[in-house]
Amino acid sequence: MTREIIENPRIGEKYTKIMHDSGLMILIWQTPGSVAKHALFGTRYGSVNTTFKTKDDADFVTVPNGIAHYLEHKLFENEDCDVFSLYAKTGASGNAYTSFDRTCYLFSCTNNFADSLKILLDFVQKPYFTEETVRKEQGIIGQEIRMYQDDPNWRVFFNMLGGIYHENPVKIDIAGTVESIAQIDAPLLYRCYNTFYSLPNMCLAIAGDVDIDEILSICDEYLKKGEDKELISIVPEEPDRVAEKFVSQEFEVAVPLFALGYKSAPLTDSERLRAEVLSDIVLALISDESSPLYKSLYDAGLINSEFSSETFVGNGYFVPNFCGESRNPEKTAELINDEIRRCIRDGLDKSRFDMVKKAYYGSMIRQLSSPESLAGLLINTGIVNCGIAFSQIDIAADITLEECQQFLTERFNPDNCTLSVVVPPSQKQ
């Protein structure tokens, strides 16, 4: 077992990185005096990891969409009881989530941290599936899928992804489809669990006023030595161009919704964090509430306070995007693209860059006051394997206007974007 202190002199913070003998990476950020404690136990397994192989496989295997999310549900049931009833005894608040590139199990507490950590490490390493319980879960997850199908905000976003990508499974709902989960059985769940839940493919992240030696003692007791399976997970190759430039769906909404996304080449882990910071800053330069574009769109009645932007990034996908409500989504998208062309042609504004960069850096620093945010920062570092948890802060401090200008030119192509809209039935194009 190795232990390393990771420090950042710029902000005067540090955390501990431990490579446990089991193969698990453990990241601990101590916050003396804080009341809350947070722990996340995550694996590099999300909805896009449907095609993979290990050293024991002759070739790549492709499994049905939705298995990562299905596993998340099933791990909370063991042979004896429901995990939430165990957390109830310690007073911890337990939860889990599956995203496109990870599955994480977590808890928050103020007391009984050690007992809650034992619960977390124990149940995540104890899968229990039977054909009866798997069939029962299909109905529960099927209801969840149908619920999201009825959510216009969810649909406008996934319709955008479906317009951007030809083959990438990121365009499929994280939970899969009713048809895909019908193909899931207990042997398939065990195969995916044994492939992706090996400790060398996982990370434990903890933040709060905790004792490192106590944590390691619990880990020594509960962690089962994992095997490096030489796991390779791939996503299908994508054409450079979007699949569809315009996607429309009818919904019972009072005001049309839109999502405008720009197809951009995927990134390696080492490139990803810097590109994400650049994208966030460029998006803010173009469209935050202090921008000329926001003011002109708002004054024209084309957007309201729901207008926002984000960088959607992960393993095999990278999509800067704008979204919101608009009574004329196509006009709004046209004006956004006009502003992007103008910024590419005339250059980004230096004074606004200085202001936006300072605000972005400040938001990164504010995260450090919350143990919950720190734990999230650590798990992101461990899962993405992007270096150290301070990287985003250092990148934000050092970003230049010239880098942002180059990024805008290379990554925001108004001729290679998808506009997704959700409109009332009478307005469908």
CB atoms within 10 A of CB 35: 11
**What Rg do the C-alpha atoms of the chain give, in angstroms?**
23
Distances (CA, A) of 387 to 2, 4, 391: 17, 13, 7
Q: What is the spatial distance between Cα 212 and Cα 214, in angstroms, rounded to a whole number? A: 5
Residue ranges covered by each domain of the chain: 2-234, 246-427
Signed CA dihedral, 123, 125, 126, 129: sign only: positive
Q: What is the spatial distance between Cα 284 and Cα 355, in angstroms, rounded to a whole number? A: 10
Q: What is the spatial distance between Cα 271 and Cα 206, in angstroms, rounded to a whole number? A: 26
Tens of pLDDT, residues 51-98 = 999 998 999 999 999 999 999 999 998 777 789 999 999 999 999 999
Q: What is the spatial distance between Cα 303 and Cα 308, in angstroms, rounded to a whole number? A: 10
pLDDT of residue 386: 62
Report whether pLDDT(146) > 70: yes
Of 13, 72, 144, 227, catalytic? 72
Tens of pLDDT, residues 379-414 = 999 998 766 888 889 999 999 999 999 999 999 999
Q: What is the spatial distance between Cα 349 and Cα 134, in angstroms, rounded to a whole number? A: 56
Q: Which of 117, 61, 19, 422 is nearest to 233 (CA)?
A: 61
Q: Identify which of 140-144, 227-231, 333-337 has the greatest average pLDDT.
A: 333-337
Count Cα atoms within 13 angstroms, Cβ side, for 292: 9
Assess if CATH 3.30.830.10 describes domain 2-234: yes
Question: Which residue reads 């479906």 in tokens?
Answer: 162
Q: Are 283 and 319 in contact (CB under 8 A)?
A: no
Q: What is the spatial distance between Cα 112 and Cα 17, in angstroms, rounded to a whole number? A: 23
Q: What is the spatial distance between Cα 407 and Cα 348, in angstroms, rounded to a whole number? A: 11
Confidence band for 243, pLDDT divided at 50, 70 and 90: very high
Domains 2-234 and 246-427 share a fold: yes
pLDDT of residue 207: 98
Pick the CATH number of 246-427 from 3.30.830.10, 2.40.10.340, 3.30.310.10, 3.40.220.10: 3.30.830.10
Q: Which residues contact 208 (CB under 8 A, 6 or more apart)?
A: 30, 31, 34, 36, 37, 38, 113, 371, 375
For the chain, the first-to-last Cα distance in angstroms comes to 61
pLDDT of residue 428: 53
The overall average pLDDT reported for the chain is 94
* Long-range contact pairs involving 111-116 (C-beta distance under 8 Å, separation at least 24): 113/37, 113/39, 113/208, 113/210, 114/214, 114/218, 115/90, 116/39, 116/87, 116/90, 116/92
Signed CA dihedral, 314, 316, 321, 326: sign only: negative
pLDDT of residue 328: 97
Report whether pLDDT(19) > 80: yes
Report whether pLDDT(429) > 60: no
Q: Which residues contact 116 (CB under 8 A, 6 or more apart)?
A: 39, 87, 90, 92, 94, 107, 109
Active site residue 4: no
More confident position, 76 or 115 = 115
| pTM (predicted TM-score) | 0.93
Question: Which residue reads 């990891």 in tokens?
Answer: 49
Q: Are 54 and 231 in contact (CB under 8 A)?
A: yes
- Among residues of the chain, what percentage have pLDDT more than 70? 98
CB atoms within 10 A of CB 280: 21
